[in-house]
Each structure stands twice: as structure tokens, then as C-alpha cells.
Amino acid sequence: MTTPDTQAATPVVEMRGITITFPGVKALDGVDLRLFPGEVHSLMGENGAGKSTLIKALTGVYQIDGGTMTVDGVEHRFSGPDEAQNAGISTVYQEVNLCANLSVAENVMLGHEPRTGPFISWRKMRRQAAENLARLHVDIDPASRLSAHSIAVQQLCAIARATVRDAKVLILDEPTSSLQKAEVDELFQVIRELRDAGVAILFVSHFLDQVYEISDRLTILRNGRLVGEHLAAELPRRDLIGLMIGREGAALDAIERGAQQAFAGEREGVTPTIEAVGLGRHGRIEPFDLAVQPGEIVGLAGLLGSGRTEAVRLLCGADRPEEGTLRLGGEDIRISDPLVGLRNGIAFSSEDRKREGIIGDLTVRENIALAVQTVRGVWRPVPRKELDELVDRYITALDIRPANPNQLVKNLSGGNQQKVLLARWLATAPKLLILDEPTRGIDIGAKTDIQKLVAELAADGMSVVFISSEFEEVLRVSHRIDVLRDRRIVESLTNGPDVDQDTILEAIATKEVA
Amino acid sequence: MSGPTVELTPDTPSSPPPAQPAAQPRPSVARRIMQHQLFWPVVALIALIILCGIKNPTFLTIELRDGNLFGQLVDIARMSATPLLLALGMALVIATGGIDLSVGAVMAISLAVSLTYLDGAANPGSVSTAAVAVLLGVAVALAAGLFNGFMVSVLGVQPFIATMILMVAGRGVAMLITQGQITTVTSAPFKFLGSGFVFGIPTPVIIALIMLVAVAILVRRTALGMLLESIGINREASRLAGVQSRNITWLVYIVCALLAGLAGIVYGAPTMAADANNIGLMKEMDAIMCVVLGGTALSGGKFYLSGTVVGALILSTIERAVVIFHIPSQITPLFKALVIIVVCVAQSPKLRELLRDGAAKLRPRALPEVAS
Ligand SMILES: Nc1ncnc2c1ncn2[C@@H]1O[C@H](COP(=O)(O)OP(=O)(O)OP(=O)(O)O)[C@@H](O)[C@H]1O
Ligand SMILES: [Mg+2]
């Protein structure tokens, strides 16, 4: 990795003393940030530290209450994201904000459509979009509707869109949160090319390995304040974590070690909580068998588009299976919609927190209570006292910040929104908890907490299906791992000391040959 | 800048204790009041009343005659009853992200049914006959609501189109019921619903208040309000959380139509003429306006019943103001539009942000910047 000599260079972007106050929250308090050309700069901090807010301050999504921003040495305040875009600052925001109803090509090329005279040349547009996607090794039909693709592909489309333009600054807010190793590698390749071409890159991620792999420089925020700016090569990992969370010693060790790896115990003759036999839906997932016993955590591992999400959606009523049977505690059951699932103790947390998770304009309290309420029915509201207790309990248990049940959930940081959703499903006290990328966008401290929580819940008898694009995480929490490839479950591994990432990759690869 | 890294001295910003949230500025009381969604509608209402009061001092007087209240303000309250009844239901429909264009036509149908029944009844003056007439009127409204709800929630037709069917066809139905004539009947108990008094207060006002309380209990004492907002905000996320959006949406269209039926009866009772062509004409627009004036967004989600009440009062005050200021009837709609524009613009978040930034720029710069 190169450490460009920046002593001589002047920053393309320099932010000084940035302050932003929202009603009731001081999101940023005198934060500085410098971006140098030809450098990858990572913005680090816990959930709610102010990373996304700082980015939005730069691109003019939020107006700042104090401080100065210079771009190319000229003091500048963008009135909105378009203006920043036109000034050469391309941004991929944390929440993918593309037009789900438009085609992939339209999304990638939006505002940049190739024209013949006044008319858009659709053919050329599709070709150019495909080329841009190919750089990231995304092979999808550019004419397909964006909403037809998984959140990971959508994220890649957003990245492709940001790299269509010749930008001098590229900002990526958690671009890798739902990507896998292979896609991350492609993305980093592109980032390196851009960096070498002199683009300044601002990168946000909660994956420290990625941060150290790609970054030259780090800026660390905590509770809306600047903690410091360091060269990545000079800041050991442990110190970085210490700066981010402001804790030391034992607490740090616990986070570094992570949750203990889970191993399967003996389970014979137990009735599975849920059992799928030949469950399938045409074009989405081939018929599969899956059984989860009480207290068992089954991880689903597979590459992008392997059908993990599609499989679990059939278990909880999010989608209806077209064939096969589902047994709940040994009895055949038809789960026609999510409410039936919830009533039978099946909770499903979607990977797409913006579109399938949060109800943005409702409060944290209402968002947590929602599923409990629908199970009780419309006419039996949760009594106020019970509700407050429930909400307070989860806000404390999951450390949701700000700890204000009246805050609109859309105003929470990405990681805290994810915690609110976890709280919603946990509050229903499910027998089977299906977690699709539950730690997406969650900081490393909280991630360990959540993994521990899942292990504890399982120890108390809950069945869990756990999906993560991080194999390491799947390996850490699961007792058993079902490996998927091409919309099929190809292997079921019992987790143990001899099972590791290579075992999973091997399972995926060998079945490919077969 | 001397070196490539900035190392802060350990006692500067890096030392806040970890779990401590950053200092939380509380917005001032004045700011909180100004940001309340009722603020601008109430300001507009008070301004209108004051203007009318200046122009015509008797405007503000309320007198007690034979134990009943009279005065221009009482008239305004009475005139607000019909739009409020419509708007209460409309607010719920709008919250789910829908719209009901058929309420005006439903008014006409239910009134037509009630009056036609009275017309044919042996003893239209008796209380029980009038009660049956009312029930019949409300029953057809129920049918209309079932139809709208079915179209929207079961067949998935866009609400605008689905309710437009009855908006257009509904008047035809009303014509069929009245056989193309303007049915007029006399029935004292029926008329009482529109022009009588209870405890000195006009009956329509009482009816509207009862319905307001009933709807408020229906949505806020149960989980209905939250669930229908959640549908309006994010339908797919709501579905996955187990919200039965089909049932709830259907129910909401039924409630809306029932209230519209009642509104038709209250509106037509004073004259007791079932004019199928004109009863409730364009009233759907009035209802939508009341809802929007009250701070509820047409895109669905959060809805405000209290705001809707203020919206209805603004609407009828405007109609009164037009008379007081001798504004020619041709430009009345323009006047209405002006008031709405002012209120809606004042409520717009963009404008608030601009005002806030403007104020921030006027404030003196913080001291530390000077010091450094
Ligand atoms: N529009 C808003 N209104 C009120 N508070 C807000 C708003 N946007 C952000 N905040 C608050 O500002 C703080 C910083 O949020 P921000 O989204 O920048 O965090 P983040 O560092 O990006 O976290 P994450 O890693 O979870 O994405 C949080 O406390 C959040 O609740
Ligand atoms: Mg963020």
C-alpha cells in the first residue's frame, strides 16, 4: 500500500469545526476532516458517532450550523447533493437511494444518459451501464428492474452509478455492508484504480479488516466529536478500537476476541421447531429441506444470489411456497402471510431495513411495538405501562442511541435503526427467529453483543436461522451451516473446530463441479 | 499544516465518557410551539376571525335566544359540521396513502334514499319513521364503503380510480332513486338533524362532535391509528410486521363512507330537498382541503384529527369571510386558494429550514472561532 506524500499536497476537501444540531441531538460538534487527492481516507466511529451526518454536511444534504468547508481551496457550501455532484463529489449514501421502479441501466446512468440529439439512446445506455457494472463484475441484465435484485446488487449499482462520472472525490458510506469477500475485492480494485488516478476517496465501514486493507488515513469520531486523525499504518487495530469506543483494557479484549464460536451438541430425537420438506418457489429457490431444533442456530452461507433470503422468506410467510410442506413442532402448517408466522412464533428480520424494516415516520417506541401489536390484534392495544417497560428494556438491552423512545426512527443512525428492528422481533418472543443480515451496519462493539445475545437466546431454547454475508460470522454463531449455491441447498455442515471458511468455500466450489 | 497527521492532545475532545450522549440542546418553548403542526392552521383561523371581526364588529357576538345560541361564529360552527364529518373519514383514508373521491356522491345517495323513504312513508313526521330513514341512508353509505374498500384493498385498484367510479356513477344512482326529481318532503324530526338545537347548540355541531370523539376513540384508543399510519408510511415493512393492511384499508373506506352518508343527511336535512345533482358537489375537495390544512400529508402516514377540525373551521370561516368582505362570488375560489396556499407554504419544511438558516446567519459567530 502506498502512503502518498501529502506534506506537499493540499487537501481537495477540508472541513473545519463542523457543527450540526438536530432537535434534541448535537450530531456533530466541531469536527475537522481533510481529504487528499490520491488517498483513501476512512471515517471511523461507533453507530451514531456522526459519520453519515458529516458526509451529508459535506454534500449539502444537511446545512451546517457552524464551521467552514473548502473544496479545492475555495470556501464552499453546497445547497444540495446535486450541486456537490456537479462539483465532482460523487457519493454513495448509506441507505441505497435509487429508484426501485426504474431499470438497472436507468439507475446507473441517471443524469448521464447518452443521447443522440435530444433523445436518449436506450441501447447505448444499456451498454454503458453494463460496462460500468462489469467493472465491479456484476453480471445482470441492465434492462431488469432494480427492485428485482437483492440489496447487495442494488448497493453495487449505486457504486457503479457513483463511478460513472469523473469525480475528484468519491464518498462511500458503508458500501460493503452487504457484500461478500469477492465483491469487496472487486470494489477495492476499482477504488485502488481511482486512487491511483488521483481521486480522493472517503470510505466508511465497520469491518476493520477492510479498513486496514484499503485505507491510508483514518479519522475517528466519537459522539459527534473528533477524536483524531491518524495514518492507518501507524495506528494498531486495538488502539483504533479504543479510540472509537473510548474504552480500554478488558472491554477491548472482549470485543477483539468476539463471541465464542458455537459448536453443535448432540441432538437426537428432538422434534424440530420448524421443518421444511421440499419447500420451494419457482424461479426463486429450488425445493429444499431444512430443520431447526429448539436451541439450535442454523447458519445459511452462500454467495451473492445463492437464494439464502429467498429460502427463509418461505419459512415465515413473507413469500408463499409453491410446493413442499412446512411443519411446526411436528404439525403440518400453512403460513399464508407474515401475521400467521408471527402468531406461530416465527419472526423474520429482513436484510433490507429501509424498505422492509423500519416505518420511518413512526417513533422508536411504535417501531419496537409494531409486531407485538399486530399479534395482539388491532383492538387490543398494548397497555401504556407495559409498552413503556418493554421499550425501555430493549433500548437498554441493545443500547439504542439516542435512548429516546419518542425519536422518529428515520432520524436514527443506520446501526441504531437495525437495533430497533432486532428489538421489534425479539419483543414478540419468537420460537424461531430468522435473522437476515442482522449485523449489517452495526459497529464492532455492538456486533459482538448481538452475536452473544443470539447465542444466549438459543441457549434458552430459541431456534435461530442466521444469514450473514460474512462467513466468519456464520461460523462463529452457528451450530450447523447449510451451504447454498445457485438457489439450492447443497451441503449441510455440522460446525466444529475443523470447519472454517475454506470448508464453506469448498462446499460451494465442489458442488459447482458436480 | 506541518505534518500529515493531526494528533490531538489527550484532554481535548477525545475524553468524553463513552456512553455519555453529547450535550442535548432542548429546543425553546417558543420554537416547540411554532413547530407544532397545529400552529399555522390555528394562526390562520384566528387571523381570519380577527379580520372579519374588524370589518364587521357584530361578527364576534354570540347571543342566547330562547335558550339557543345564535351568531356568526355559531353559524360557522354549524357550517363546519358537514366538511368535518367528511374530513374525519378522509383523514383516515389519506393516512393509509389512499384518497376517497366518492364522498360527495355518497352524500347525495344517502340523502336521496332517506328522503325517498320518507316521501313514501305513511307518517313521515313520526320520530321512528325519521329514524328508519336515517338508518336506510347510512346503510347505503355502508354499501358504498364496502364497494370502495373492496376495489382498493382486495382488487388493488388505485384509490383515485377506484373511488372515482362511485364519484361519477354515484350521482347516477342517486338520480335513479329520486327518479330524476328533486324530492321534497316535510318531517320535523328529520329536519331537526339539520336545523335543530340540543342544549342550545346546533344539532349538526353536536353530531359532528360526537363523531369526532367516536373516531378519535376508534383510532387512538385502539392500535388502529398506529397501524394505518404504518401502512401509509411503508406498506411492505408493515406487511412483514404482520399488519393486515387489507382489512384495515377496507375498514377505513367503510368508516369514511358511513361518515359521508351521515354528512349527506345532516347537510340536506334543513331543506329536505334531495337534489341528486347538487348535494355534496365538490365536497370531496373540501374534505381533502380540511385534512391537508390540518397538517396531514397527502402522501399518507401521520394524520391529525385535531388539525382536521381546525381545517374545517378555517374552511367555513373563509366562506363566511367572503360574504362579509363582499367578495364577488366569481372570485371566491381564488380567495379560498389563497388562504390554503399561505397555510400550506407556512407548513412546508423547506421554508422552515430556510427561515432557520436565515436566523442562524443573523446570529453572531461563536466565540471560539475568533479565539483560534
Ligand atoms: N435528521 C436527523 N434528526 C435528528 N437526529 C439525527 C438526524 N440524523 C442523524 N441524527 C442523529 O445524529 C447522530 C449521528 O448519526 P449518523 O447517522 O451520522 O451516525 P453514523 O456515525 O453514520 O452511525 P452508523 O454507523 O450507525 O451509520 C445520531 O445520534 C442520530 O440519531
Ligand atoms: Mg451512518
Higher-confidence position of A271 and A387: A387
| CB A33, CB A46: distance < 8 Å | no
Q: In this predicted structure, what is the pLDDT of residue B372?
A: 31
Mean pLDDT of A195-208: 92
Contact with chain B for residue A240, Cβ under 8 A: no
Mean pLDDT of chain B: 85
- Looking at the predicted structure, is the pLDDT value of residue B219 above 90? yes
Contacts of B23 in chain A (CB under 8 A): 26
| CB A72, CB A26: distance < 8 Å | no
* Interface contact flag, A379 B27, Cβ < 8 Å: no
Q: How many CB atoms lie within 10 A of CB B168?
A: 12
Contacts of B15 in chain A (CB under 8 A): 246
State pLDDT tens for residues A273-294: 999 999 999 888 899 999 999 9
| Residue percentage of chain B with pLDDT more than 90 | 56
Locate the chain A residue with the closest alpha carbon to B361: A65
| Residues 95-154 in A contacting B (C-alpha not used; CB under 8 Å) | none
| DSSP secondary structure, A1-20, as one string | -----TTT---SEEEEEEEE
Q: What residues contact A73, with CB distance under 8 A and at least 6 apart? A: A10
Q: Which of B197, B326, B204 is nearest to B267 (CA)?
A: B204
User: What is the torsional sign of CA A325, A331, A333, A339?
Assistant: negative
Q: In this predicted structure, what is the pLDDT of residue B276?
A: 83
Locate the chain B residue with the closest alpha carbon to A68: B369
Domain ranges of chain A: 13-246, 247-345+430-514, 358-429
Q: What residues contact A382, with CB distance under 8 A and at least 6 apart? A: A369, A372, A373, A376, A390, B223
| CB A293, CB A328: distance < 8 Å | no
Locate the chain A residue with the closest alpha carbon to B242: A339
- Looking at the predicted structure, is the pLDDT value of residue B136 above 60? yes
Phi, psi of A347 (to 5 degrees): -115, 140
Nearest Cα residue to atom 29 of ligand 1? A48
Yes or no: is domain B68-346 CATH 3.40.190?
A: no
Substitution target from A2, A78, A223 for chain B, most B beta carbons within 10 A = A223
Q: What is the DSSP letter of A321?
A: -
Distance A442 CA to ligand 2 centre (A): 9
Q: Which of B194, B185, B231 is nearest to B82 (CA)?
A: B194
- Supply the Cα-derived Rg of chain A in whole angstroms: 23
Q: In this predicted structure, what is the pLDDT of residue A260?
A: 59
Q: Which of B189, B199, B184 is nearest to B271 (CA)?
A: B184
- Looking at the predicted structure, is the pLDDT value of residue B12 above 80? no
Locate the chain A residue with the closest alpha carbon to B366: A66
Work out the minimum CA distance from B12 to partner chain A, whole angstroms. Answer: 8
In angstroms, the CA A226 to CA A228 distance is 6
- Looking at the predicted structure, is the pLDDT value of residue A204 above 80? yes
pTM of the entire predicted model: 0.85
| CB A109, CB A125: distance < 8 Å | yes
Q: In this predicted structure, what is the pLDDT of residue B367?
A: 35
Among A7, A226, A361, beta carbon nearest to B4:
A7
Q: Is A485 a pocket residue for ligand 1 (Cβ < 6 Å)?
A: no
Q: What residues contact B334, with CB distance under 8 A and at least 6 apart? A: none
Q: In this predicted structure, what is the pLDDT of residue B211?
A: 97
* Interface contact flag, B241 A371, Cβ < 8 Å: yes
State pLDDT tens for residues B264-320: 999 999 988 888 888 888 899 999 999 998 888 888 999 999 999 999 999 999 888
Instruction: Return the HEC string of A229-296.
Output: EEEHHHCCHHHHHHHHHCCCCHHHHHHHHCCCCCCCCCCCCCCCCEEEEEEEECCCEEEEEEEECCCC
In angstroms, the CA B160 to CA A479 distance is 52
In 3-state terms, what secondary structure has residue A325? strand
State pLDDT tens for residues A55-68: 999 998 998 999 99
Domain ranges of chain B: 68-346
Yes or no: is domain A247-345+430-514 CATH 3.50.30.40?
A: no
- Looking at the predicted structure, is the pLDDT value of residue A121 above 90? no
A237-272 burial: b if 16+ Cβ within 10 Å, else e: eeebbbbbbbbeeeebeebeebbeebebeeeeeeeb
- H/E run at residue A111: none
Q: What angle do CA A76, A85, A198 make, to 5 degrees?
A: 85
Could you tell me the three cell numbers for B130?
325519521
Contacts of B34 in chain A (CB under 8 A): none
Among B8, B240, B248, beta carbon nearest to A338:
B240
H-type alpha helices, A286-426: 308-316, 338-343, 353-356, 364-376, 384-397, 414-426
| Residues 152-211 in A contacting B (C-alpha not used; CB under 8 Å) | none
Among A6, A361, A374, beta carbon nearest to B302:
A361
Contacts of B238 in chain A (CB under 8 A): 359, 370
Kindly give the number of the ligand 1 atom that is closest to the alpha carbon of A221. 21
- Looking at the predicted structure, is the pLDDT value of residue A251 above 70? no
* Interface contact flag, B23 A227, Cβ < 8 Å: no
State pLDDT tens for residues B91-106: 999 999 999 999 999 9
Kindly give the number of the ligand 1 atom that is closest to the alpha carbon of A94. 27
* From A25, A95, A226, A400, mutation site for ligand 1 pocket: most ligand atoms within 8 A of C-beta: A25
Instruction: Return the HEC string of B287-329.
Output: HHHHHHHCCCCCCCCCCCHHHHHHHHHHHHHHHHHHHHCCCCH
Band of pLDDT at residue B356, cut at 50, 70 and 90: low
Distance A426 CA to ligand 2 centre (A): 23
Higher-confidence position of A375 and A176: A375
Kindly give the number of the ligand 1 atom that is closest to the alpha carbon of A55. 18
Instruction: Return the HEC string of A428-445.
Output: CCCCEEEEECCCCCCCHH
Peptide bond into A402 cis (omega under 30): yes
Contact with chain B for residue A380, Cβ under 8 A: yes
Lowest-pLDDT choice from A253-267, B53-67, B257-271, B279-293: A253-267
Q: What angle do CA A491, A495, A498 make, to 5 degrees?
A: 100
Mean pLDDT of A207-233: 92
Phi, psi of A332 (to 5 degrees): -65, 140
* From A411, A443, A447, mutation site for ligand 1 pocket: most ligand atoms within 8 A of C-beta: A411
Among B24, B238, B239, beta carbon nearest to A26:
B24
Q: How many CB atoms lie within 10 A of CB B360?
A: 13
Could you tell me the three cell numbers for B186?
316535510
Q: In this predicted structure, what is the pLDDT of residue B214?
A: 97
| DSSP secondary structure, B169-226, as one string | HHHHHHHHHHTTS-EE---HHHHHHHH-EETTEEHHHHHHHHHHHHHHHHHHSSSHHH
Q: Find the ligand nearest to A414 CA.
A: 1
Substitution target from A359, A364, A379, A409 for chain B, most B beta carbons within 10 A = A359
A13-246: which CATH topology? Rossmann fold (3.40.50)
Work out the angle between the directed axes of helices A414-426 and A364-376 (0-180°, nearest 10): 20
A364: left (phi over 0), alpha (psi -120 to 50) or beta: alpha
Among B6, B239, B244, beta carbon nearest to A229:
B6
* Interface contact flag, A374 B3, Cβ < 8 Å: no
